[in-house]
Chains A and B, each alone.
Chain A
Amino acid sequence: MHHFMLANLLTEPVGVAHYMAVGAVLFVCGVLCMALKRNALGVLMGIELVLNGANLNFIAFGSRFLRGEGQGLGLDGPLMALFVIVLAAAEAAVALAIVLNFYNNYDSVDIDRADQLQG
């Protein structure tokens, strides 16, 4: 497993795996934000991070520079990424509206207070 060796880390190109590793970190950071932030806006930021982690993977799968000429997903990668970006924008708008509504009704952005579904 030569990719772990530090010696050739700077002289050789990186691969899809490295992009996925970064994507994994962003994804897990996002999940942790969603799980650990009590501020509803923190949760929204977590969602943005999760989407970005996924986006990074799409880009890596589509990139010719990472998998060589003619390999990989081709245009499907960046197109998916674009859709994700656009949908994230839409999601942010709606989620923000919900948060503002919640704030208006409860006078708080503490997500732990939104527990009406408790059994």
Chain B
Amino acid sequence: MDSSWLPTLLALAWLTPLASFVFILFFGKHAGPHGRFAGTVATGAIVFSCVLSFVAMFGAWLPNNELPEAHHGDHAAGGDHDEHAEDGEHADEADHETFIRPAASPFLLASSGGDRGTISLVADTAEGEGDSAEHHIAPNGKPPAVYGVFYNLVTFGKLKLDISYYIDALTVTMFCVVTLIASCVHFYAIGYMHDELHEPYTDHEVTLTDGTHLVRKGRFYRFFQYLSLFCFSMLGIVIAGNLAMAFVFWELVGICSYFLIGFYIERHSASTAANKAFIVNRVGDFGMLIGMMALWSSLGTFAFGDTQNDQGEVTEPGMFSVLRTEENHYALAPTESMEVEGARVVGEGEEGESSHAGQWLLLIAGVGVFCGCVGKSAQFPLHVWLPDAMEGPTPVSALVHSATMVAAGVYLTGRVYPIFTPEALLVIAVIGCITLFVAATIAITALDIKRVLAYSTVSQLGYMMLALGIGGWSAGIFHLITHACFKGLLFMCSGSVIHAVHTNDMSYMGGLRKKMPITAYTMLVGCLAIIGAGIPTSMYGLSGYYSKDAIIEQAWSFAGANRGNPLLSILLIAPVIGAAITAFYMFRLWYMTFAGEPRDHHRYDHAHESPRVMTMPLVVLAVCAIAIGWSVPGTNLSITSLLEQAQPVGTTPGAEGVLAENLVVPAEQLSHVKAVKIPAGWAAFSAAAFGVLLATIIYLWRMLNPAEIRDSFKPLYAFLWNKWYFDELYDLIFVKPTHWISGLIAKFDRGIIDGIIHGTAATAKAAASIVSNVGDRTLVDGTVNAFANRTWDFGLMLRRLQTGSLRTYVLAIAMGTWITYMLVSFIMVARGTG
């Protein structure tokens, strides 16, 4: 098949779930007893899509597009190790000669000493070439892609709204991943939603006013109807050829998640969670609309690809081609029209100085589009909806958290990657970094098995965004794909557990390993994959090992390239600490659920392994979670090489900030240098090992009592248990003021006249009392008293530091040493003497 088949195949794969949706919508209720066949239809549709996607990948894409040599050579576990290793050597030598900005640990002590100059790459190069800004990685051209229009919806003047397609290696890969995982989820859902086939269905979670449980009709068919629509929308985003179309399907994904999260609509928590997800996403979409406006008003197009006529000439260039022209060596440069439009916002520059108006506009556009992704992918300010979204049935959680909804945000960020300026990338990285750390800490205290997983999803999404933001495009997208596999697996395992013990609370579980071995061990695989288990610095490991290490390597490289700005090394420290925390809470989850003694014997006795239709998808996904990072033996076909093929135009050489002058986004190739790869690999490994060890000490060997630890860190525990008080904060900032203002307006309406009359009297009275209170009692007495009180309080506070306990002092000394060292090295680096 030649590549002209691609649009047909993928469009078919995309539309099949829609057909299934339409069928179930009209006939689902009557398809078999209680709509039983709706499940079969939907599953059949998505499996058909999956087959078509793989046909498109292996039949139409790979034969026509030669894969590049994988730069993650060391990671490929294929049959040609030696060859790869040699290639790696070559690359390293080249690195020695050509690459400047060697990546190094931000805490490097003595790079100036170098009397044995052979020690490290760092010592060699840091002095020689210093800060010179040029480097020799040629910017890549446009990745191979197929762009075209299915149907022109409407044309308003210049604005054309098309149903179009843009198919490159990323699109095809995402099609395969999404449909594969969705197929597993569909199969699994047939088993999991079995209860809904009973007529009538009793919802034990809902208690009516008369004390009985709600009894309603089963909604088996409707569940699959929504699932089909969900898959259709997600595939629509993936295949979309322009931003407007992506936005339409973006919203469709939003509404589907609303339906599915609120599937048990009678439960109060479920309907609130659905509302929350929908509303929070609207906040992000508002930003996205602004970004789209900024792009359209200055570029006049939303298309990702170029429209060509029959002779192959470009008639209408797409967004990326306009922003990264071939004449400009594919570097990002705002167009004339952007400068003009931008100047209306930021104003003209001073005499002889550019105002960087175009850059500012690009920044606004980039950050705006990213806002949408923040909402969809549950990043830091808008992450609150995702953990609540587990109110939906578990298969939905598995789908939402792995391959669809949240993946859409990361996917879109990766898709429009060429429009991000380095400053916009920094915003992305910082948001990702905050997200990954905040969410990871919250997951430590959560007791609800799905809540732990939900926060771990948020945290992993933070990793992806961080990777994208620091220039690791393929690292971030790679993690998206591996994460889709193991998080889908983890959620389905948790669903299997919940199905068996009828509770989400881990404190009622324990010892389930013996009762449900398949679930337990597939989940262990998932846990190992998510913490990135592998042999450090080698090429053997589970899928998460490759992607997470790639992210940490890129972070290491980024911190090395920005040594002038030590604050940015937080972007390295946070993911490493996050890796330790991830390992801790994942193994805490596994030990609490499957290891040790059963805590609730009643539930334990009734637990049983799930039916075959639920465990088979687990096994399939477990195999994926292990092997998806590997390359096919004997070839260089792997996810990484596919991603390198899809590398967005002009992004290989990294970038340097224009508005923020010292910012450097290092090229991703630089993170494969040995001097980065080895220490970063060890850092990631030892962090994860520490987390696992701590979890083992506390929850498996029970050498330390968790309850005791909880008591010692009570304030911290409360802080994490309440999720950093984000919900309360938003309630305070947004919800309460709204209530307050509306109340105020009501009062104003009613009381305005009274207010004026009373006010006049009260003013006179107040004026008199001010003189007596403020002048004498408050001002004079108050100052003196306040001073005395503060001194007293301060003394009391200091007194508590003096514990008199020898052991506390020793700990304080050790910690103090560490902190002092860190501060000094930060300051030294900041002043350029480190």
Contact mask for chain A residues 1-43; partner B; CB cutoff 8 A; 1 contact, 0 none: 1001100000000000000000000000001001111100001
**Does A119 touch B at the CB level, under 8 Å?**
yes
Bound CA span A36–B669, Å:
46
B678→A1 contact, CB < 8 A:
yes
Number of interface residues of B (CB under 8 A): 21
Segment 658-687 of B: residues with Cβ below 8 Å from A: 674-675, 678-679, 682
Measured between beta carbons, the chain A residues less than 8 angstroms from B119 are 1
Using A4-B537, A115-B805 as known contacts, say yes or no to A31 and B810 having CB atoms under 8 A apart. Answer: yes
A111→B806 contact, CB < 8 A:
yes
Contact mask for chain A residues 29-65; partner B; CB cutoff 8 A; 1 contact, 0 none: 0010011111000010000000000000000000000
A119→B802 contact, CB < 8 A:
yes
Which applies to chain A's interface (DSSP): helix, strand, loop or mixed?
Answer: loop
Taking a contact as CB atoms closer than 8 A, the residue among B678, B799, B806, B811 that contacts A4 in the complex is B678
**Does B800 touch A at the CB level, under 8 Å?**
yes
Segment 76-119 of A: residues with Cβ below 8 Å from B: 111-112, 114-119
**Chain A nearest CB: distance from B366 CB in Å?**
37
Taking a contact as CB atoms closer than 8 A, the residue among A5, A35, A116, A117 that contacts B807 in the complex is A35
**Chain B nearest CB: distance from A13 CB in Å?**
14
**Does B820 touch A at the CB level, under 8 Å?**
no
Taking a contact as CB atoms closer than 8 A, the residue among B675, B682, B799 that contacts A119 in the complex is B799
**Chain B nearest CB: distance from A105 CB in Å?**
16
**Does B705 touch A at the CB level, under 8 Å?**
no
Contact mask for chain B residues 802-815; partner A; CB cutoff 8 A; 1 contact, 0 none: 11111100110010
Measured between beta carbons, the chain A residues less than 8 angstroms from B120 are 1
A118→B814 contact, CB < 8 A:
no
Bound CA span A111–B537, Å:
45
Bound CA span A4–B685, Å:
13
Taking a contact as CB atoms closer than 8 A, the residue among A31, A38, A116 that contacts B804 in the complex is A116
B804→A119 contact, CB < 8 A:
yes
Segment 785-834 of B: residues with Cβ below 8 Å from A: 798-807, 810-811, 814
Measured between beta carbons, the chain A residues less than 8 angstroms from B810 are 31, 34-35
Measured between beta carbons, the chain A residues less than 8 angstroms from B798 are 119
Contact mask for chain B residues 302-313; partner A; CB cutoff 8 A; 1 contact, 0 none: 000000000000
Measured between beta carbons, the chain B residues less than 8 angstroms from A38 are 807
Taking a contact as CB atoms closer than 8 A, the residue among B679, B682, B799, B804 that contacts A115 in the complex is B804
Segment 632-675 of B: residues with Cβ below 8 Å from A: 674-675
**Chain A nearest CB: distance from B819 CB in Å?**
15
Measured between beta carbons, the chain A residues less than 8 angstroms from B811 are 35
A118→B804 contact, CB < 8 A:
yes
Segment 96-128 of B: residues with Cβ below 8 Å from A: 119-120
Measured between beta carbons, the chain A residues less than 8 angstroms from B679 are 1, 4
Q: Which of B799, B803, B810, B814 has the most CB of A within 10 A?
A: B810
Using A1-B678, A35-B811 as known contacts, say yes or no to A112 and B537 having CB atoms under 8 A apart. Answer: no
Bound CA span A5–B85, Å:
15
Bound CA span A36–B814, Å:
12
Measured between beta carbons, the chain B residues less than 8 angstroms from A36 are 807
What's the count of A-B pairs with C-beta under 8 Å?
49
CB-CB nearest in chain B for A118 = B804
Bound CA span A115–B802, Å:
10
A35→B814 contact, CB < 8 A:
yes
Bound CA span A1–B2, Å:
47
B804→A117 contact, CB < 8 A:
yes
**Chain B nearest CB: distance from A5 CB in Å?**
8
**Chain A nearest CB: distance from B77 CB in Å?**
18
A117→B802 contact, CB < 8 A:
yes
CB-CB nearest in chain B for A6 = B537
Using A1-B675, A1-B679, A35-B814 as known contacts, say yes or no to A118 and B803 having CB atoms under 8 A apart. Answer: yes
CB-CB nearest in chain A for B681 = A4
Bound CA span A20–B814, Å:
18
CB-CB nearest in chain B for A111 = B806
CB-CB nearest in chain B for A34 = B810
CB-CB nearest in chain A for B806 = A111
Measured between beta carbons, the chain A residues less than 8 angstroms from B806 are 34, 43, 111, 114
B802→A118 contact, CB < 8 A:
yes
Measured between beta carbons, the chain B residues less than 8 angstroms from A37 are 807
Contact mask for chain B residues 617-641; partner A; CB cutoff 8 A; 1 contact, 0 none: 0000000000000000000000000
Bound CA span A114–B798, Å:
20
Measured between beta carbons, the chain A residues less than 8 angstroms from B675 are 1
Measured between beta carbons, the chain B residues less than 8 angstroms from A34 are 806-807, 810
Measured between beta carbons, the chain B residues less than 8 angstroms from A114 are 804, 806
Using A1-B678, A4-B537, A4-B678 as known contacts, say yes or no to A112 and B814 having CB atoms under 8 A apart. Answer: no
Measured between beta carbons, the chain A residues less than 8 angstroms from B814 are 31, 35
Q: Which of B120, B537, B804, B806 has the most CB of A within 10 A?
A: B806
Measured between beta carbons, the chain A residues less than 8 angstroms from B537 are 4-5
Measured between beta carbons, the chain A residues less than 8 angstroms from B799 are 119
Bound CA span A36–B805, Å:
11
Bound CA span A38–B810, Å:
12
CB-CB nearest in chain A for B815 = A35
Using A1-B120, A35-B811, A35-B814 as known contacts, say yes or no to A112 and B805 having CB atoms under 8 A apart. Answer: yes
Bound CA span A35–B804, Å:
13
Q: Which of A5, A31, A111, A119 has the most CB of B within 10 A?
A: A119
Q: Which of A35, A36, A38, A116 has the most CB of B within 10 A?
A: A35
Q: Which of B120, B798, B804 has the most CB of A within 10 A?
A: B804
Measured between beta carbons, the chain A residues less than 8 angstroms from B805 are 111-112, 115, 118
B800→A119 contact, CB < 8 A:
yes
**Chain A nearest CB: distance from B246 CB in Å?**
44
Measured between beta carbons, the chain A residues less than 8 angstroms from B678 are 1, 4
Bound CA span A118–B814, Å:
20
CB-CB nearest in chain A for B796 = A119
CB-CB nearest in chain A for B798 = A119
Bound CA span A112–B806, Å:
7
**Chain B nearest CB: distance from A59 CB in Å?**
21
Using A1-B675, A35-B814, A118-B802 as known contacts, say yes or no to A112 and B682 having CB atoms under 8 A apart. Answer: no
**Chain A nearest CB: distance from B114 CB in Å?**
14
**Chain A nearest CB: distance from B89 CB in Å?**
13
Bound CA span A48–B802, Å:
26
**Chain A nearest CB: distance from B540 CB in Å?**
13
CB-CB nearest in chain B for A114 = B806
Measured between beta carbons, the chain A residues less than 8 angstroms from B674 are 1
Bound CA span A1–B804, Å:
45
Bound CA span A111–B803, Å:
13
Bound CA span A36–B120, Å:
38
**A-side interface residues toward B, CB under 8 Å?**
1, 4-5, 31, 34-38, 43, 111-112, 114-119
Selected A-B contacts with CB under 8 Å, 18 pairs: A1-B674, A4-B679, A31-B810, A31-B814, A34-B806, A34-B810, A35-B807, A35-B810, A35-B811, A35-B814, A36-B807, A112-B805, A115-B805, A118-B802, A118-B803, A118-B804, A119-B799, A119-B800
Query: What are the 9 closest A-B residue pairs judged by CB atoms, nearest first?
Result: A118-B804, A119-B802, A115-B804, A119-B799, A117-B804, A35-B810, A34-B810, A35-B811, A35-B807
**B-side interface residues toward A, CB under 8 Å?**
119-120, 537, 674-675, 678-679, 682, 798-807, 810-811, 814
Q: Apart from A1-B119, A37-B807, A117-B804, what 12 extra A-B contacts exist at CB < 8 Å? A: A1-B675, A1-B678, A1-B679, A4-B537, A5-B537, A38-B807, A43-B806, A111-B806, A111-B807, A112-B807, A115-B805, A118-B805
